[in-house]
């Protein structure tokens, strides 16, 4: 199962409207189509990685060079990236927009997604990352724009967690 076609368009529109011009990430089942879309977008430099911590460091370095970066990943990746989010952003104040699949949210069908849902929000709170949970497609694009806006204002990451109608057509 992947994000819906409408959610895919909304996420891509949101990234463009937010001025995101640099994306790193590790594809997951839900947001795989977004990685495919972004990779083909000539306005966005796409850098695939094999773990989200490396992706976060790359995004932070790109911001220092003037890019507006986003990291696209499953919420399990927040755990992996947390080491570098703490070192780089809590330590020096670097903004990166995080766009995460919210596996383990209410409606989850996969047992392995449950721990991701248990850990994600407390971990974001521990890292002082403000976040929006988006369960309706019509909220997705503007939520990405708003997350990027506060990330730049506070010089610290902000996150959008994607779930609900963006992925399930039940």
Q: Is 49 a binder of another protein (CB under 8 A)? A: yes
User: In sequence order, which residues have a C-beta less than 8 Å from that of residue 32 and are 6 or more positions away?
Assistant: 2
Q: What is the C-alpha to C-alpha distance for residues 150 and 97, in angstroms, rounded to an integer?
A: 9
Question: Rounded to the nearest whole angstrom, what is the least distance from the CB of residue 121 to another protein in the complex?
Answer: 24
CA distances from 114 to 90, 103, 110 (A): 27, 7, 7
Q: What angle do CA 7, 71, 12 make, to 5 degrees?
A: 30
Q: Is 59 a binder of another protein (CB under 8 A)? A: yes
Written as one string, the DSSP assignment of 78-114 is HHHHHHHIIIIIIHH----EEEEE-TTSTT---GGGH
Q: Is 155 a binder of another protein (CB under 8 A)? A: yes
Stretch that binds another protein, among 7-15, 36-44, 81-89, 158-166 (CB under 8 A): 81-89
From the list 3, 12, 33, 63, which residue makes contact with another protein (rule: CB under 8 A)?
63
Q: Is 29 a binder of another protein (CB under 8 A)? A: no
From the list 88, 137, 141, 147, which residue makes contact with another protein (rule: CB under 8 A)?
88
In this structure, are residues 129 and 2 in contact, taking their beta carbons and an 8 Å threshold? Answer: no
Which residue number, 6 or 47, has a Cβ lying nearer to another protein? 47
- Total of chain residues touching another protein, rule CB under 8 A: 33
Residues found near another protein in the complex (CB under 8 A): 22, 24, 45, 47-51, 53-54, 56-67, 69, 83-84, 87-88, 91-94, 152, 155
């Amino acid at each position: 199962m992947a994000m819906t076609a409408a959610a895919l368009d909304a996420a891509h529109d949101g990234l463009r409207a937010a001025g995101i011009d640099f994306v790193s990430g590790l594809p997951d089942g839900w947001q795989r189509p977004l990685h495919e879309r972004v990779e083909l977008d000539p306005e966005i430099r796409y850098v695939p990685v094999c773990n989200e911590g490396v992706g976060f460091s790359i995004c932070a370095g790109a911001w220092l060079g003037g890019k507006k970066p986003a990291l696209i990943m499953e919420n399990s990746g927040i755990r992996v990236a947390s080491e570098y989010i703490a070192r780089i952003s809590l330590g020096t104040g670097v903004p990166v927009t995080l766009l995460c699949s919210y596996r383990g949210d209410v409606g989850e069908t996969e047992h392995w997604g449950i721990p991701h849902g248990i850990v994600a929000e407390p971990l974001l709170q521990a890292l002082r990352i403000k976040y929006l949970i988006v369960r309706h497609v019509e909220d997705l694009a503007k939520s990405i724009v708003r997350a990027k806006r506060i990330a730049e204002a506070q010089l610290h990451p902000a996150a959008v967690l994607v779930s609900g109608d963006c992925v399930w057509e039940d």
